[in-house]
Structure 1
Amino acid sequence: KHIETQLLQSPDKQISLTDPDARSMSVGGRGSGTVGYNVQTAVDAQHHLIIAHEVTNVGHDRGQLSNMAKQARDQIGAESLTVVADRGYYTGTEIVACEQAGISTFVPKPLTSSSKAEGRFGKQDFLYVSESNEYRCPAGELLTKRYSTWEDGMLMHVYWFSGCQSCAMHNQCTTGKERRLKRWEHEAVVDAMQVQLEHDPGKMKVRRQTVEHPFGTLKYWMGATHFLTRTLPRVSTEMSLHVLAYNLKRMMSILGTKGLLDAITR
């Protein structure tokens, strides 16, 4: 009962009796997970050096894109940066935050549409016509803007076509009276990113070859061992030591030991 009281009082309804800062992390597959930490890294595509890293106890990556991108940009002293991330980082507000900071992003959109999963048209089947601020549906009809509303702090515009019920494709489109679409006020930024990604699909291959390399190497070095320390500050320090060792060995591979010493002493 005492533990239950603590559990209900905790902000995220989680308690770890081994490490008070550790939290449940999704590791792929519904219902699967492990208790630990979420390590974020930004890795350069040319040399696979870890430019920036951070340890969090948040079990997902959705709020980390702009944070890690800005850290990487500041570390290398660049005014602009191109960042590639997997679909776990996809959040409209994070993509816009990067765009406003002069950072170009490539993040594939997750396929979460229940309509598509149930065999109906998804939002991607509707073409947005910017000139008239309308959506063209698969049947060729135009969905016009009806009203705007706020959802989770985001201004959303709502569109629909009033003649949906007489459409021959109605059952392929919606189970309701008419198909309604919502468009975020900054969705043009997200749309432009998706167009760029479609024209350069090789970007995701580069991501896999880049950011996964250090993780694979570090896990190989650690073997079956997990983090040896407990609590977020200590785990962060332990990870920093891993990153330092990794980057030093990478630099020795790139420049040689003498080259690295020369670079350090300049």
Structure 2
Amino acid sequence: LAEQADQSSVPDGMNLPEEIARREARLAAMAEAKVKIEARAKARFEQEQAAYEATMARREDKAKATGKKQGGRPPTPPTAGPTPKEQINLTDDESRIMPVSGGGFEQAYNAQAAVDAASMLVVGTGVTQACNDKAQVTPMLEHLAGLPATLGKPDRLLGDSGFYSAANVAACEAHGIDPFLAVKRDEHHPDPIERFSEPPPLAAEASPAQRMAHKLKTQAGRALYTLRKQTVEPVFGIIKSVMGFRQFLLRGLAKVSGEWMLVCMAWNLKRMAALRPKTGS
């Protein structure tokens, strides 16, 4: 067989040693990717197992307190090990597959930005590998708390329903910030009467999340939350459509984070030029 292989014709332009080295490198990359997938699966399982055990503990405590068996289907325990759908990108293994607006999925990062409502300047940036925004509130609060005192202290935080959780509401209050996080997506055609009416009084024993939900139903709360659509949303829109930044050019979470910071710095320079005092000719 070896003699037959030596005598067999080789396609023009093919270098056998280089081809063998290329395939060996590819196999090594695949083996390394397999190890990373298994590590991710282990971390995912540990996180899901902790959440599952916490949920089961709450169900048991409630059953003991009420003396009744909990209704509904119990949560399904997580499965250890990689699932058939788990995969890794060999070009940038730190990126993740994320859903995109309009349908479909892309290999991407999740870029975050905190925008000052008055000036529309970006005061905080972040890039994460998670497509869910709920876990990004606390890191941004800590970043805002570390800004120089000369920049002032934020007193309110506006965010869409993707950032809402009872824990995030409590975190905002712990940082001395009044949260305005949408509990659910707004209806496209709300009842006109609701827009000009006030909600019923709030119970004295209401939780922080309930107080915030009530606040968002007031006319003052709705007016404040509306500012989000005319501050942070235009910033992202202008960065994409006017400045032409629609995808990262670098690879790796650290480099992508730096790239996003530079993009936001470019936006701030553009915005500060528009905010500078106008002098007469």
Equivalent position of 2:209 in the other structure: 190
- Worse-matched range after superposition: 222-231 or 1-10: 1-10
Equivalent position of 2:38 in the other structure: 8
Highest Rg: 1 or 2?
Answer: 2
The question of 1:67 aligning with 2:139 is answered: yes
- Normalization by structure 1: what TM-score? 0.62
Cα 1:192–1:227 shift into 2, 3 Å: same
More strand as a share of residues: 1
Q: What per-residue deviation string (whole Å, max 9, x for no partner) do you get for residues 202-234 of structure 1?
A: 233210111111111111245375111000111
Equivalent position of 2:99 in the other structure: 26
Matches for 1:1-266 after TM superposition, within 5 Å: 2=31, 6-10=36-40, 11-12=43-44, 13-28=86-101, 32-75=104-147, 77=149, 78-79=152-153, 81-110=155-184, 188-199=207-218, 200-223=221-244, 225-255=246-276
Answer yes or no: is the 8 Å Cα contact 1:44–1:50 preserved in 2: yes
Measured in 1, the distance between the counterparts of 2:268 and 2:171 equals: 29
- The size of the alignment, in residue pairs, is 187
Answer yes or no: is the 8 Å Cα contact 2:239–2:245 preserved in 1: no
Q: What per-residue deviation string (whole Å, max 9, x for no partner) do you get for residues 66-89 of structure 1?
A: 321342343263455201000000
- Normalization by structure 2: what TM-score? 0.59
Cα 1:81–1:14 shift into 2, 3 Å: farther
Q: What per-residue deviation string (whole Å, max 9, x for no partner) do you get for residues 143-165 of structure 1?
A: xxxxxxxxxxxxxxxxxxxxxxx
- The one-letter code matched in structure 2 to 1:69 is L
Percent identity over the alignment is: 32
Identify unmatched segments of 5+ residues in structure 2.
Answer: 1-29, 45-85, 186-200
Q: Secondary structure in 2 aligned to 1:243?
A: helix
Identify unmatched segments of 5+ residues in structure 1.
Answer: 112-126, 132-186, 259-266
More helix as a share of residues: 2
C-alpha root-mean-square deviation of aligned residues, in Å?
2.8
